[in-house]
Amino acid sequence: MKNYLFVLRKPAHSGAYLQEMLDIMLITAAFDQSVSILWLDDAVFQLKNHQQPEVSGMKDTAAMLQSLSLYDVTELYIETESLQQRGLNTDNLCLPVQTLPRQEIGEFMRGFDVVFAG
Amino acid sequence: MKFAIQINSSPYHNHAWLTAYQFIRAALLEQHEIVRVFFYHEGVYHAFKYATPPDDEINFVKCWSELARDYHIDLVVCISAAQRRGLLHSDEAQRQGKQDNDVADGFRIAGLGQLVEAISLADRFIVFG
C-alpha cells in the first residue's frame, strides 16, 4: 500500500477535470490505498456550498465530492491562504476539511509516497 | 529505477507530451524501466489513429507507436476519458452502436485500475501536462 496525496488546483467547473480526478481518487481508495486530498488555489471553489450550476447545465461540484465519504476518504486538507485570498472560510465549504498554512505544505507533502498532481 | 508516467494534456495544447517522450527515451537509454504510460484527461487525444499532422511537423502518434513497437512500452488510454472524447476501440464502438476503431497502433484502452497498478509497481510516478 502507498500513501497518496492528490493535489487539486483547478476551479470548480473546468470541463471534465473534477469528475475525472474524483474517478481516480475513488478508484485508488477502492484499491485499498491511503488517499488524502489537498485543495490549493482556485480549487477551493470546488467545495463551496450553495452553488447553482444547473442554471448553466453543469453539475454541483460540492455534491459530487460527497461521494468521497462513501469510500472512507476523510483525510481532507485545504490551504489557509487559498481560502482567505478568495474571501472564504471553512463554514462556506461542503466537507469537513483541515486547514494547513502555506509554509507547512512542503513538509506535509514530504510525508506521502505519491503526490498526484491534478 | 521503475517509472510510471501519466500524460494529461493534448498534443496541441502544450508540449508536455514531448518532454515526457524525451524523458522516457532518456530513461530507457539509461537502462531504467517504464512500467506504463497512462493517458488521462486531455491526454487521450494522443491515441487518435487518424491524427494527420503536416509532413514538416512532428507526428506525435507516430512517435508513440514507434516507441511502443521498439521498446515494448505499455501505452494505456483511460477508457472513460476516451469515450467522453470520442475515442473508441472497435469492440466498444460496436457495443455503442458506432463504427470504426480510432485507436492508434501501440495503444490499448483500459480502466483506471491500470494506473493505480502502475504506480504501485513503480519507484517513481511522474505526471506531465
Q: What is the pLDDT of residue A56?
A: 87
Supply the CATH number for residue B95's domain.
Answer: 3.40.1260.10
Q: Which three cell numbers stand for residue A54?
A: 444547473
Task: Taking residues B56-69, report their average pLDDT.
Answer: 96
Q: What is the pLDDT of residue A63?
A: 86
Query: Torsion over CA of B15, B8, A51 and A84, rounded to 10 degrees?
Result: -70
- Averaged pLDDT score across all residues of chain A: 95
Which residues constitute the domain of residue A52? Answer: 3-117
Give the angle subtended at the CA of A96 by the CAs of A92 and A100, to the nearest 5°: 90
User: Distance, in angstroms, between A89 CA and closest chain B CA?
Assistant: 30
Q: What is the pLDDT of residue B79?
A: 96
Residues for chain B: how many in total? 129
Number of domains observed in the structure of chain B: 1
Q: What is the pLDDT of residue A62?
A: 86
A32 Cβ under 8 Å from any chain B Cβ: no
Q: What is the pLDDT of residue B109?
A: 96
Q: Is the pLDDT of residue B98 over 90?
A: no
Number of domains observed in the structure of chain A: 1
Query: Which residues on chain A are in Cβ contact (under 8 Å) with B120?
Result: 2, 31, 33
Q: What is the pLDDT of residue B99?
A: 83
Q: Is B120 close to A23, i.e. CB distance below 8 A?
A: no
Structural contact between residues A23 and B80, judged by C-beta atoms closer than 8 angstroms: yes
User: Distance, in angstroms, between A114 CA and closest chain B CA?
Assistant: 7
Supply the CATH number for residue A60's domain.
Answer: 3.40.1260.10
Structural contact between residues B36 and B125, judged by C-beta atoms closer than 8 angstroms: no
Which residues constitute the domain of residue B122? Answer: 2-128
Distance in angstroms (rounded) separating the CA atoms of residues B40 and B114: 11
- Averaged pLDDT score across all residues of chain B: 95
What confidence category does residue A10 fall into, taking pLDDT thresholds of 50, 70 and 90?
A: very high
